[in-house]
Amino acid sequence: MTGISGKVVAITGASSGIGEATALHLAERGGRLVLGARRRELLDGLVRKIEDAGGEAVAVTVDVRRPGDLARLVAAADERFGRLDVLFSNAGSMAVSAFDELQVADWELMVDVNIKGVLNGIAAALPAFRAQGAGHFIHTASTAAYKVVPDQAVYAATKTAVKVLTEGLRQEAGPDLRVTLVSPGFTNTEGVGKGGSPEAAAALIARRDAIAMPPEAIARAVAFAIEQPAAVDVGEIVVRPTAQG
């Protein structure tokens, strides 16, 4: 299947930011959406917005730290639409701080959401993709996977892990599956500065407000990867604001 129309796409972290923007963009182009996040009221509002515009979507309450929740997301795609074509593992945590602050709980959160969340998605969707002989994994990393800066070492480490896992999955995927890494730079989302130390959060928010690109920029990158012919695999896309060094 070429293009986006008719494809079934599951998105984690779909209640806001990049996930929400991607859901709306794909729905406008005929994609059928399975939307996962923890905040069900926001998901339900997004489903209504998509349906009011003539699209198709279903909401599933998902915490990516729980393998069973990802299994339910994949099952919901099959129950509603009969298949799953794309899993966009987009949920993430950016609870950044300096090492000296010893924010161990935030470190664990980023490892659990950013790394284990992606692995849980792979475990849920890979058997379904193998069984139907097609499927596309898309993972959100970050430009932090390419450049480490103070206060962001743990976050950068988790996103570097996502980059490595995605490349390993691509190498094992074989000719029938596609695997894409999308690495956003500063993007105008509520996740920037959420959690972590107040000082680090304030610096990130100020930087975001000064140079950030809209989440729709990432939505278009995701759509570009999805719409390619089945035999074309877009392995990696890095998208930055022009002002980001």
Q: Which residues are catalytic?
A: 155
Amino acid at 230: A
- The answer to whether residues 145 and 159 touch, using CB atoms and an 8 Å cutoff, is yes
Rounded Cα–Cα distance for residues 245 and 241 (Å): 9
Backbone phi, then psi, for 29, in 5-degree steps? -100, 15
One-letter amino acid at 191 equals: G
Calpha distance 37→35 (Å, rounded): 7
> How long is the chain?
245
Distance CA 191, CA 140 (A): 13
| Residue 215 DSSP SS3 | coil
3-state helix/strand/coil string of 193-228: CCCCCHHHHHHHHHHHHHHCECCHHHHHHHHHHHHC
- Residues 126 and 136: their CA atoms lie apart, in Å, by 9
Radius of gyration of the chain (CA): 17
